Chain A
């Protein structure tokens, strides 16, 4: 029996996507019910987002925020930059990025969950942001042309993807040479047993 390739877990990918989409549809539509992970403004404060940046966003966007890091810890994005938000969720990072890059920039927000895409679309409309383009897609096959992006952001998404190598390849593909990733995710310091890696319920939380 061969060992699985590094960065590739052995789960039923379609079943995993369905379970994750179902979970995050709930985060989008019923954030108040509570989840196995933190959400909303308290989480954003824990992740060191400036209160002023959060207060500028629609409450519905904030309430459905879920993430594990803060893509802007490494600095604001620059005017005119092209940004891809991989797994945009409710759009909190998308809307902040759209403000950073301004009207001459563009943010392509990608998510597989329709309820989350709807939430991001509504948030951009409330803020009258014309530089946000919301698209359906998967992290492993981004609907973005080669070399389009100056920056790829993401938050709490890579850990939900069984083939992390494919995700990083896609981020690399869509970036311009010299472009950067600023992504929040998780680090696991202890070896996770294969039985846990194979348990979809643990992936989707």
Chain B
């Protein structure tokens, strides 16, 4: 949403990746369902 409000278009998200499993942050990440992702967007 912020990207589009800024003027970006064609926003695409990659598949999500569980980047915190096995780390010391795993518990917090699980609590908030936190995932890694890569975002593509284009300046209009």
Contact = CB atoms under 8 A, between A and B. Distances in A.
Interface in A53-96: 67-71, 73-74
Contacts of B17: 46-48, 68-69
Interface stretch (A16-24, A111-119, A121-129, A181-189): A181-189
B19 A46 contact: yes
A1 to B, nearest CB: 23
B19 A180 contact: no
A38 B20 contact: yes
Contacts of B16: 187
Interface string B12-39: 1110110110111100100111111111
Contacts of A179: 42-43
B34 A70 contact: no
A202 B32 CA distance: 12
A189 B33 contact: yes
B7 to A, nearest CB: 6
A36 B7 CA distance: 34
Given A68-B19, A69-B38, A188 B33 contact: yes
Contacts of A187: 13, 16, 34-37
B23 A37 contact: yes
A135 interface: no
A7 interface: yes
Most buried by A among B5, B16, B33, B43: B43
A73 B14 contact: yes
B43 A177 contact: yes
A6 interface: yes
Contact of A190 (B8, B24, B31): B31
Nearest to B39: A183
26 contacts: A7-B2, A34-B24, A37-B19, A37-B24, A70-B38, A74-B14, A169-B6, A172-B6, A172-B43, A176-B43, A177-B43, A177-B44, A178-B43, A179-B42, A179-B43, A182-B40, A184-B39, A186-B19, A186-B34, A186-B35, A187-B13, A187-B16, A187-B35, A187-B36, A188-B34, A205-B25
Closest CB pairs A-B (n = 6) = A189-B33, A69-B38, A68-B36, A36-B24, A168-B6, A175-B43
